[in-house]
Chain A
């Protein structure tokens, strides 16, 4: 697509977004194969779209690709420009090779997996949108599902092969609904696994069963809201219509001449915006029509009748929906696997993904519950004392003492109080690991790691404590529990090896290599690009020897550098030692841990260069010193809680961004700050979140069953009550920091944050959604604000 056409297309989309006041617009780059445009070409297209659309709407920019040409350079472009890529993958090698080979017949599977490994790296993970798989009856459905799951995708979607009444899909003799059986087999396993990843087609059917909205045009009655812009600027309807007849998607319109409203008025698109009324009589009278929505438009085509028909997959859809709705798919007959099945017609090579419905962004203002007082059910159920334990079976001693809770409620927290929060974190991590240990017994690598960790916990408890206190050890363990089907239990061996290294113990164990990197939490990471099995790690007082593939490296204790030497300068090749903040030894600059990408839409930075790391070290040291000097009441919290700072990529909009995650207690993620004064504010803000997370680990402060959303001045979207409490607690500290700084600008900042805090406290205390402990906590905050 020429730059002129890109500019014209972006202009038309922006014009449409403004005219219709669209909250969000999704643009999908597809082909053919969009990676053929190369890094510069993709950067140009993405930059132009963002230049024109970012000021007027929220641009959800995506791409659909086979991934074969993905490189680090292109991945950088994708993350820099906020492009999320969906990769086409049909299952394991055998499944994928049925249709996705090079022209010479060679398999592309290895290249696709290499691309997925790249996208899984924390620094590129924001560019990983998910996997798109076309159903092929010749492939075993559960094996396909397992192969997709192994790639740890954020989303999975399944497409039915292109077909219509003229060219129906292949069906084995005697099996009337084989596609339903195939998808039901996936559904069964997915359900048994606890739905570890969203599957758009199945999620959409579940959503529409309860009156919700479909996320795909393949099912549901949502209005079609997708148009295609070809490389020459002509508008077309969805690509899937190409499977109906030659020229089916054509509209005769183009971006240079016509606004998008004219495309929307095209009869073929208009009929797809009519919901139920746009379907044939058979569909309109069908009991499952609100779920299937008549199926994909292209699947309805029949020569002589156009698209005024049920889907050619109608019987499969009815069976699938009925079985899912009734929950009776457990007894669904298995897929019949005939010896030969005619190859299904495929979508165009790496064609566009099915367009989705609402993007899942913040709730629309009109749909948010107003913040109004109501009787709080917690008042009837909560015990009278503050600090009610959050655990399902609380024990005496599982909650914070009232005096500690009061101290933290003031917004500050002395050494004793914040020390208890750090102790809670360690206890929670230990509980998570012990709860994982039975599952670890099923893996020899994990079991050996667990055994070593258990031994070290007795012989070298301080070393174990240092590793288990690392924020991302808890994050990893939490993810294992949260998604057991994807549990990375082998990391237990890495945790144990790290503890052994810190203890100076002697140990030999196998440690998994993940996406080409052997990571040892709190110690460092070794790049092992060609390892296809766990590395042999030998730990002794003299160092760590790692053997994997062609790699045989010994890392000695001095190679775990505090100083910010560039990688490779004085270290073994491929070794990336963890860097620390000089003078603040417990605080790591975390740019190696594979579990550090847990901050939603905030992309983490890749491994820092030596000069960048040195700059971070200087800024962090100065910022922490500044907190000590100008806001000493917050220094104990920073000292006790902060264990890692995760560098984020600079914000595209130039804002200072920071984040904290409850499941990565002790870590703060921040974008590069202009100076230590700005960084100090971000650190104090995020440590407040962590402090409150620690409290909430053992105390119920809000009624989590309260569904109300509350408007707050610091966010556009209404927030749940716990979110309001979090924001209030953090902004109290920010207001306090600015209060202590000289100058008119600081005074203005202080007043703004103070007013936000005071207003939110009034709302919280009037809402009736706090527990007695929460109300007491909020009143302590109120008392602090009232002293200013």
Chain B
């Protein structure tokens, strides 16, 4: 199956990938935005930010090479 997007000189083709297991955080993708519980969203969102009490994750990884 292919999703077609209407804008652009060339149609985007984003093929659905067969999965053998459900990807994590499935509820957040398949529940409409307006129905996702705020508390659930905050729990997941805050693990992405420094506002949690966890040490922040590395953000930027940079690579320099003379190749």
Contact = CB atoms under 8 A, between A and B. Distances in A.
Question: DSSP class of B's interface residues: helix, strand, loop or mixed?
Answer: loop
A427 interface: yes
A697 B59 CA distance: 12
A697 B34 CA distance: 23
A431 interface: yes
A582 B33 contact: no
Contacts of B59: 598, 661-663
Interface in A405-426: 415-416, 419-420, 423-424, 426
Interface in A641-671: 651, 655-663
A332 interface: no
A194 B49 CA distance: 13
A566 B49 CA distance: 38
A502 B7 CA distance: 5
A600 B28 CA distance: 30
Interface residues of B, number: 56
B24 A427 contact: yes
A390 B45 CA distance: 11
Contacts of B54: 392, 704
Interface stretch (A6-14, A157-165, A207-215, A455-463): A455-463
A426 B58 CA distance: 20
Given A415-B17, A681-B65, A685-B63, A585 B10 contact: yes
Contact of B38 (A438, A580, A686, A697): A438
Contacts of A391: 43-44, 47
A346 B62 CA distance: 42
Contacts of A420: 19, 21, 23-24
B25 A398 contact: yes
Contact of B24 (A424, A463, A557): A424
Nearest to B13: A585
B48 to A, nearest CB: 6
A742 interface: no
Given A427-B25, A478-B49, A482-B50, A585 B7 contact: no
A599 B60 contact: yes
Given A401-B21, A433-B33, A659-B63, A560 B57 contact: no
Contacts of B34: 454, 457-458
Contacts of B38: 434-435, 437-438
A582 B10 contact: yes
Interface string A577-611: 00010100110000000000011111000000000
Interface in B4-54: 4-14, 17-29, 32-34, 36, 38, 40-52, 54
Given A585-B13, A730-B63, A415 B18 contact: yes
A477 B49 CA distance: 10
A547 B47 CA distance: 39
Contacts of A263: none
B23 A431 contact: no
Contacts of B14: 462, 466, 586
A198 interface: no
Contacts of A704: 54-55, 57
Interface string A703-747: 011000000000000001011001100100000000000000000
Contacts of A403: 20-21
Contacts of A602: 62
B45 to A, nearest CB: 4
Given A398-B24, A655-B65, A662-B58, A562 B19 contact: no
Contacts of A419: 17, 19, 23
Contacts of B62: 599-602, 657-659
17 contacts: A398-B25, A428-B25, A431-B28, A431-B36, A434-B45, A437-B38, A438-B38, A523-B7, A557-B6, A560-B8, A562-B9, A585-B13, A655-B65, A659-B61, A681-B65, A704-B54, A722-B57
Given A427-B28, A428-B44, A655-B65, 8 more contacts: A397-B22, A416-B21, A428-B25, A431-B48, A454-B32, A599-B60, A655-B64, A655-B66
